[in-house]
């Protein structure tokens, strides 16, 4: 059982009988003498994705879950089930669309670099790469004299992801996108 001060982003813990993955840890050190350092943690329930926040003192114990991380690649979608293949032993894992809903716009056929989070051999969540390269399918035409100002325009990718891109980006170009924020980073 790790102490709250040892828990990092990506850990899976059990709280009140439910599994939660740590999304953010905010450390606050009060200035009063004798005050304990506080750890405000933001969790997402797995499966389900329901948000939960709680503040702990550094010595509070959290129930750690044995979590297995496996490199997988995305194979296919059938109804509401997404199938992934293990990169080492070629076994397949399926997961319901509801469990990975925020990550669906970033999934492309044959995508690699994905990490599956497994508990007792069952896939409970995905850990996507921090950036993905996607092709812009549709966007309004850019201005010929587009300057280097921060003006943006809407664009749509093949997966249905919509984002704001700079004016100089045209349909058919590949762009790098941050999977955590959903924002344009650069041309690919």
The C-alpha atoms of residue 90 and residue 10 are separated, in whole angstroms, by 24
**Residue 156 pLDDT > 90, yes or no?**
yes
The C-alpha atoms of residue 123 and residue 103 are separated, in whole angstroms, by 15
**Local structure of 182: helix, strand or coil:** coil
Residue 135 has what pLDDT? 92
Residue 163 has what pLDDT? 92
Name the residue with higher pLDDT: 125 or 84. Answer: 84
pLDDT in tens, 41-76: 888 777 766 788 888 887 888 887 888 889 999 988
Residue 108 has what pLDDT? 87
**Residue 148 pLDDT > 70, yes or no?**
no
Q: What value does the mean pLDDT take over residues 159-172?
A: 89
Locate tokens 């894992």: which residue? 93
> DSSP assignment of 30-73, as one string?
-SSTTPPPEEEEEEEETTT--EEEEEEETT-B-EE---EEEEEE
Confidence at 37, pLDDT banded by 50, 70, 90 = confident
Q: Which domains occur in the chain, in start order?
A: 4-64 (2.30.30.30), 68-127 (2.40.50.140), 131-187 (2.40.50.140)
Residue 49 has what pLDDT? 67
**Residue 119 pLDDT > 90, yes or no?**
no
Q: What value does the mean pLDDT take over residues 129-147?
A: 80
Residue 175 has what pLDDT? 92
Residue 133 has what pLDDT? 92
**Residue 11 pLDDT > 60, yes or no?**
yes
Residue 45 has what pLDDT? 79
Do 69 and 117 contact (CB within 8 A), yes or no? yes
To 10 degrees, the CA torsion angle through 86, 90, 91, 94? 50
Residue 149 has what pLDDT? 64
**Local structure of 85: helix, strand or coil:** strand
Give how far the C-alpha of residue 49 lies from the chain's centroid of Cα atoms, to the nearest Å. Answer: 11
Say if pTM beats, i.e. exceeds, 0.75. Answer: no
Confidence at 137, pLDDT banded by 50, 70, 90 = very high
Q: Which of 77, 79, 133 is nearest to 106 (CA)?
A: 133
Residue 71 has what pLDDT? 93
The C-alpha atoms of residue 6 and residue 17 are separated, in whole angstroms, by 21
**Residue 77 pLDDT > 80, yes or no?**
yes
């Amino acid at each position: 059982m790790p102490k709250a001060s040892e828990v990092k982003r990506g850990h899976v813990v059990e709280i009140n009988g439910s599994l939660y993955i740590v999304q953010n840890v905010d450390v606050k050190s009060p200035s009063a003498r004798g005050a304990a350092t506080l750890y405000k943690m933001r969790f997402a329930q797995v499966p389900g994705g329901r948000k939960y926040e709680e503040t702990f003192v550094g010595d509070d114990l959290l129930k750690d879950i044995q979590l297995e991380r496996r490199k997988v690649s995305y194979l296919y979608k059938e109804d509401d089930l997404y199938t992934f293949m293990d990169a080492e032993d070629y076994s397949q894992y399926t997961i319901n669309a509801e469990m990975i809903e925020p990550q669906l716009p970033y999934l492309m056929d044959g995508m690699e670099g994905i990490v599956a989070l497994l508990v007792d051999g069952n896939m409970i969540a995905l850990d996507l790469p921090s950036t993905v390269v996607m092709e812009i399918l549709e966007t309004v035409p850019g201005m010929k004299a587009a300057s280097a100002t921060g003006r943006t325009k809407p664009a749509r990718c093949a997966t249905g992801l919509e984002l704001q891109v700079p004016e100089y980006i045209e349909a058919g170009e590949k762009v790098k996108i941050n999977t955590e924020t959903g924002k344009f980073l650069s041309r690919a």
